[in-house]
Amino acid sequence: MKGDSEESIESLRPSNLQAFANSSTLHGMSHIFAYGHMTFRRFLWSLSFLGSLALLLLVCMDRISYYLEYPHVTKLDEVAAPNLTFPAITVCNLNEFRFSKITRNDLYHVGELLALLNENYQIANPHLAEPEVLAALKDKANFVNFKPKQFNMTDFFNRTGHDISEMLLQCTFRGTNCYPHNFSTPGNREAPLSRLEWVVMSAVVAALTEAKCRGPAGSVQCRHPPHVL
């Protein structure tokens, strides 16, 4: 009798799954895993739960697939402007002077400033120069029987600097071609320019390969509004 009563008590105890379902806050779990036999009500709850779960997984997979397609939207606002303000282009050339335009008199006065000569008017670090450049430099640095002439720094900058007519390959503004004579330097400056500043809308600038002065080679072009100089 005692054994039979214990077996009946054990059969009435809920399983672990039923205990979990009754304590769970997930909607419908307590109705699906209720005590007792399967009923039509439990069947409907099970069907609704599985259908909702399948729908949730379907929506999640659809959104993940859409995300992996990397969707994007491009919006373009087009505004017609009758008058466009010209931007400015600043060309910062790391080789400020053309070696081919430097004369013997220039080298005598500013050779040390350009790090081409030392204080004794001798070639500085000749092992760093290319053979053809070194040969031309030796010829220009030959000051035997040389009588220096007056030197003007402004003239030196204007004469040895880079000419826009030799740098500009193509220039267009609003479909119209522009030329070197359309360029101007902003303001009147008495001091020599260490950088060239021109007003232009669109320009393709040639590489400054003629420059042979010491230092790193290359140039940098920056486009910006005219008032930012």
* 3-class SS string, 8-66: HHHHHCCCHHHHHHHHCCCCCHHHHCCCCCCCHHHHHHHHHHHHHHHHHHHHHHHHHHH
Of the two residues 54 and 206, the one the predictor is more confident about is: 54
Q: What is the pTM of this model?
A: 0.43
Residue 219 predicted with pLDDT over 50 = no
Q: Which fold has domain 88-224?
A: acid-sensing ion channel 1 fold (1.10.3590)
- Top-confidence range, 39-48, 72-81, 134-143: 134-143
pLDDT at 65: 92
Cα angle value 29/31/37 (rounded, 5°): 120
Average pLDDT for residues 133-150, to the nearest whole number? Answer: 89
pLDDT at 170: 83
Which two tokens mark 217? Answer: 């080679």
Is 203 within 8 Å of 168 (Cβ atoms)?
yes
What is the per-residue DSSP string for 78-105?
A: ----SS----EEEEEES--S-GGG--HH
| Rounded CA separation 216/175 (Å) | 36
Residue 1 predicted with pLDDT over 60 = no
The per-residue pLDDT for range 63-104, each reduced to its tens digit, is 999 999 888 888 888 877 777 666 666 666 667 788 888 899
Q: Is 26 exposed, middle or buried (0-12, 13-18, 19+ CB in 10 A)?
A: exposed
The per-residue pLDDT for range 99-130, each reduced to its tens digit, is 888 899 999 998 888 888 888 888 888 888 88
Residue 215 predicted with pLDDT over 60 = no
Of the two residues 117 and 29, the one the predictor is more confident about is: 117
- Amino acid, single-letter form, for residue 55: L
Q: What is the 3-state secondary structure (H, E, C) of 158-225?
A: HHHCCCHHHHEEEEEECCEECCHHHCCCCCCCCCCCCCEEEECCCEEECCCCCCCCCCCCCEEEEEEC
pLDDT at 54: 93
pLDDT at 162: 79
How many whole angstroms from its chain centre is CA 225?
19
pLDDT at 117: 87
Which two tokens mark 48? Answer: 């609704």
The per-residue pLDDT for range 150-203, each reduced to its tens digit, is 998 888 888 888 778 887 888 887 778 888 887 776 554 444 443 343 333 334
pLDDT at 13: 56
Residue 23 predicted with pLDDT over 80 = no
Per residue in 37-59, is it b (16+ CB within 10 Å) or e — as a string? eeeeeeeebeeebeeeeeeeeee
Q: Name the residue among 162, 172, 163, 165 with its Cα closest to residue 200.
A: 172
